[in-house]
Structure formats: C-alpha cells, structure tokens
C-alpha cells in the first residue's frame, strides 16, 4: 500500500509541475501562462511577485557597442564595399578583354582560311608547262645538264667583285 501511495504522490507532483492538467480522457488543455493566484486578487496591497517558473532569464551575454567598435565596423564595411567594387570592375574589364581576344582569334582563323584558299587557287592557276615553254622558247633558257655547267675558279684574290666579268671558259 505504501508503494501505491508513493506513486500517487509522485503522480500529483508531476501534475502540479506540469503546465497542463488532465481531466479524464479529454485532451490536455494548457494552463494560462500568467494566471493570477486567488490570494493575489484578494490582497491588492501586497506587492506582486511573479511566479518563478515564468520569469525571464537574466541577460548575461550583453555586448555593449561603443563608438570605437562602431567606427571600426563602419570602416571595415566601407573597405569591403570598395574592394568588392574594384573586384567587379576588374572582372568586367577582364571579361571584355577575353571577348575581344576571342573575336580576334575568330578573325585570324577566317583570314588563315582565306589565305589558304587564295594560295591554293594561285597554285592551281599557274601552269608549269606554260612556264617551261615561255622560259625555253621566249627567254632562251636551257635545262641544266653536265655539258652546260661551268666551273669558275678564281685564285687571284679571296673575294669576288660584284661587277667583274666572269670568264666563260670556252
């Protein structure tokens, strides 16, 4: 029987400490947070003491902001904004230069393609047989052979004058 009484007492303590009450099988209804005590309503001349369960915790971690810290924070903010602005300006300039480089590379590729096409058209437009015919018939040139190679040996001096006559050796 003592164990039953202890359980009953613990149950009542738990109900008193809880912020709700149980009424049969009904759902739990929370008690009002600042319900006035019956004795406080009767005695208006007593000083009101709030229930310690509902008192706010004291503020222990308050940081007082003084003028030097505020000035330092403002200076830091201004410097951060200026550095960010400068970064964005440099990034924009870099993007502009990269786009101009891409444009110039595209133009260079186009010019190389046109140059290759013009070179190929020049190569195909020149008829080597026609060049040989003009060189041999009109200009009097001859094909190189062993019989028309002339050896020139100048032993008089170690240098050759540009406009000096070359002996024919025949």
pLDDT of residue 147: 76
pLDDT of residue 25: 61
Q: What is the secondary structure of 86-141 as a DSSP string? A: HHHHHHHHHHHHHHHHHHHHHHHHHHHHHHHHHHHHHHHH--HHHHHHIIIIIS--
Largest CA distance in the chain: 153
Per-residue pLDDT band for 164 (boundaries 50, 70, 90) equals: low
Per-residue pLDDT band for 141 (boundaries 50, 70, 90) equals: confident
Q: Would you say 151 and 169 are in contact if contact means Cβ atoms under 8 Å apart?
A: yes
What length is written for the chain?
170
Mean pLDDT over residues 94-121, rounded? 96
Say which DSSP state 38 is in.
Answer: H
Per-residue pLDDT tens digits for 9-53: 776 666 565 555 555 565 666 666 665 555 545 555 556 666 666
Please give the residue that has the higher pLDDT: either 14 or 135: 135
Is pLDDT of 60 > 90?
no
pLDDT of residue 115: 97
If one counts every other C-beta atom within 10 angstroms of the C-beta of residue 135, the result is 13
């Amino acid at each position: 029987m003592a164990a039953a009484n202890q359980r009953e007492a613990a149950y009542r303590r738990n109900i008193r400490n809880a912020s709700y009450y149980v009424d049969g099988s009904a759902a739990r209804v929370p008690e009002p947070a600042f319900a006035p005590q019956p004795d406080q309503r009767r005695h208006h001349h007593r000083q009101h003491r709030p229930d310690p369960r509902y008192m706010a915790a004291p503020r222990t971690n308050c940081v007082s902001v003084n003028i030097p810290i505020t000035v330092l924070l403002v200076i830091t903010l201004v410097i951060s904004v200026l550095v960010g602005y400068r970064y964005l300006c440099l990034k924009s300039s870099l993007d502009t230069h990269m786009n101009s480089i891409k444009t110039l590379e595209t133009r260079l590729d186009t010019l190389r393609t046109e140059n290759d096409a013009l070179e190929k058209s020049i190569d195909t437009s020149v008829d080597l047989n026609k060049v040989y015919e003009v060189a041999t018939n009109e200009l009097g040139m001859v094909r190189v052979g062993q019989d028309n190679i002339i050896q020139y040996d100048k032993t008089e001096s170690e240098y050759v004058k540009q406009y000096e006559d070359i002996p024919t050796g025949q």
